[in-house]
Amino acid sequence: MSNRARNIWTQAEAKYFQQLQATLKAQGFLRPSLVIDLDRLDHNIQEVMSSVQRAGKQLRVVEKSLPCPGLLGYIANKTAARRLMSFHQPFLNQDAGLWPDADILLGKPMPVAMAERFYQKHRGAFDPRRQLQWLIDTPERLQQYLALARKLGTRLNINLELDVGLCRGGIAEGRAGTEALRHILSTIEQQPEHFAFTGFMGYDPHVVMLPRLLGTPAKLLAHAMAVYRERVDQVQQDFPALWAQATEIKDQPGLTLNTAGSPTYRLHETETVSNEISVGSGLLKPADFDLPSLSGHQPAVFIATPVLKNTGPLRLPGLGDPARLLPGLGRGRRDTIFIYGGNWLADYVWPPGLKPNRLYGRSSNQEIATVSASVGLKADDLVFLRPRQSEAVLLQFGDLVIVRSGEAVDTWPVFDQ
């Protein structure tokens, strides 16, 4: 990037954060706040939906990465998506209460005690027999769920986790996986009053995360989908009645062949094995998602927190001004600031050059950072950080601050844990 282009971007960045700071200060947001930018979110939604439409697939929104009813509702309205992926029993119960028409797939195998707790707490019109799919990874877990189904006197919809190369569990490739799947499908077929087969889930972020030495994304994706195709073929050939039941969509969720995630969703535009893709964090693009595959997305989530103190040049307990002892430290004077809170899974992004102080270390109360004295930060000015993840950070700040065109337009509560 040329210096001129970098300067233009810096000017645009400065205008963006200066306006955001003025808005938040004027409206009294002088505590650590999690900010969602709807204009940037809209851009990212359009990126995702354009790809989903080119692929001819359905979108499943990953709730754990967007753990806020208002945020999920906004995305659902923009995308017309009614498919959710849930990872946490308390959130699952809230999903079912908030969206009685949702189709919900578990994104990880849930301990059976937590599955039972869902049924104990569930109230409302959401019908788990038609709308909820439990994720199963082993024959042993399936037996646990069979005991639960018998205890509850109900039928559970079973989606099966595939290991398509991530090595995080699920039905493996090769002979061992073939035998495990045969065992699982036989049990499902023998228990029609308690089980219905609904499809597969194969998560594949390794496709873009692994070093190129281990394979290009195209090669790794081809392998992942070949594994996926082998399991689809196994059901169609060895258990045709289960496959037919899943495709009939009669009193159960429709056939769900779920794959992808935010890092890889674009790569699935041409494969024809899956019928839906999952996206969550990519809609907000926290820093861990600065990937070539998401280059068209914009960061849409920030932490804003006020400066509590600017104490000038660095002073250390017992030493005072270290520049007295090491004169070289005095060159290019930097101010020492203390912020409200800190130690989040996030990185400083504004003002430029703001950095945590490594000598002091991190603090969750009044984190110390340094910045060029020329910036002129003073008490009650806001500094901005960019979360590295969304699911781990969005739940730490209370109500989210929602901005549009640089103005704070709403606050949205997050899920109750």
131, 98, 93, 96: which is closest to 115 by C-alpha?
93
- Residue at 4 is within a domain: no
Q: How confident is the model at residue 322 (pLDDT cuts 50, 70, 90)?
A: low
* Average pLDDT taken over every residue of the chain: 92
49 Cβ contact list (under 8 Å, min separation 6): 59, 78, 79
Is-above-0.85 flag for pTM?
A: yes
98 and 62 in one domain? Answer: yes
Q: How confident is the model at residue 115 (pLDDT cuts 50, 70, 90)?
A: very high
**Higher pLDDT pick, 328 / 292:** 292
What pLDDT is attached to residue 6? 42
pLDDT digits (tens, 9 = 90+) for 197-207: 999 999 999 99
Q: Is the distance from CB of 305 to CB of 32 less than 8 angstroms?
A: yes
Q: What is the CATH number of the domain that holds 348?
A: 2.40.37.20
Q: Which of 232-236, 248-252, 315-319 has the highest mean pLDDT?
A: 232-236
Domain end residue (candidates: 284, 312, 338): 284
Rg (CA), the chain: 25
First CA to last CA across the chain, in angstroms? 44
| Spatial separation of the C-alpha atoms in residues 278 and 223, rounded to whole Å | 19
- Residue at 290 is within a domain: no
| Spatial separation of the C-alpha atoms in residues 125 and 240, rounded to whole Å | 32
What pLDDT is attached to residue 12? 78
Beta bridge partners of 366: 341
- Residue at 408 is within a domain: yes
125 and 58 in one domain? Answer: yes
- Residue at 58 is within a domain: yes
24 and 111 in one domain? Answer: no
What pLDDT is attached to residue 314? 77
Residue 23 scores a pLDDT above 80: yes
Cis peptide before 109 (omega within 30 of 0): no
| Spatial separation of the C-alpha atoms in residues 270 and 51, rounded to whole Å | 10
What pLDDT is attached to residue 285? 97
What pLDDT is attached to residue 317? 66
| Spatial separation of the C-alpha atoms in residues 104 and 84, rounded to whole Å | 5
96 and 23 in one domain? Answer: no
Report the number of distinct structural domains present in the chain: 2
- Residue at 315 is within a domain: yes
pLDDT digits (tens, 9 = 90+) for 124-177: 999 999 999 999 999 999 999 999 999 999 999 999 999 998 989 999 999 999
**Three-state SS sequence of 139-180:** HHHHHHHHHHHHHHCCCEEEEEEECCCCCCCCECCHHHHHHH
**Quick one: what percent of the chain has pLDDT higher than 70?**
94
Beta bridge partners of 247: none
226 and 192 in one domain? Answer: yes
Q: Is the distance from CB of 70 to CB of 409 less than 8 angstroms?
A: no
**Quick one: what percent of the chain has pLDDT higher than 90?**
85
- Residue at 289 is within a domain: no
- Residue at 5 is within a domain: no
pLDDT digits (tens, 9 = 90+) for 260-296: 999 999 999 999 999 999 999 999 999 999 999 999 9
Q: Is the distance from CB of 342 to CB of 365 less than 8 angstroms?
A: yes
65 and 18 in one domain? Answer: no
28 and 42 in one domain? Answer: no
Beta bridge partners of 350: 384
133, 91, 136, 82: which is closest to 112 by C-alpha?
136
252 and 301 in one domain? Answer: no
49 and 31 in one domain? Answer: no
Average confidence (pLDDT) over 400-407: 96
Residue 209 scores a pLDDT above 90: no
Residue 2 scores a pLDDT above 50: no
324 SS3 class: helix
| Spatial separation of the C-alpha atoms in residues 96 and 165, rounded to whole Å | 32
Average confidence (pLDDT) over 317-321: 56
Average confidence (pLDDT) over 373-402: 95
365 and 229 in one domain? Answer: no
The DSSP code for 341 is B
Domain end residue (candidates: 256, 284, 312): 284
| Spatial separation of the C-alpha atoms in residues 354 and 42, rounded to whole Å | 29
- Residue at 3 is within a domain: no
101 and 16 in one domain? Answer: no
Q: Is the distance from CB of 338 to CB of 315 less than 8 angstroms?
A: no
Residue 363 scores a pLDDT above 80: yes
Q: How confident is the model at residue 320 (pLDDT cuts 50, 70, 90)?
A: low
Domain end residue (candidates: 251, 284, 317): 284
Q: What is the CATH number of the domain that holds 197?
A: 3.20.20.10
At position 78, the amino acid (one-letter code) is K
Query: Would you tell me the crossing angle of helices 112-121 and 89-98 to the nearest 10 degrees?
Result: 30
pLDDT digits (tens, 9 = 90+) for 47-81: 999 999 999 999 999 999 999 999 999 999 999 99
Residue 14 scores a pLDDT above 90: no
Full residue range of the structural domain in which residue 150 is found: 38-284
Q: How confident is the model at residue 10 (pLDDT cuts 50, 70, 90)?
A: confident
303 and 327 in one domain? Answer: yes
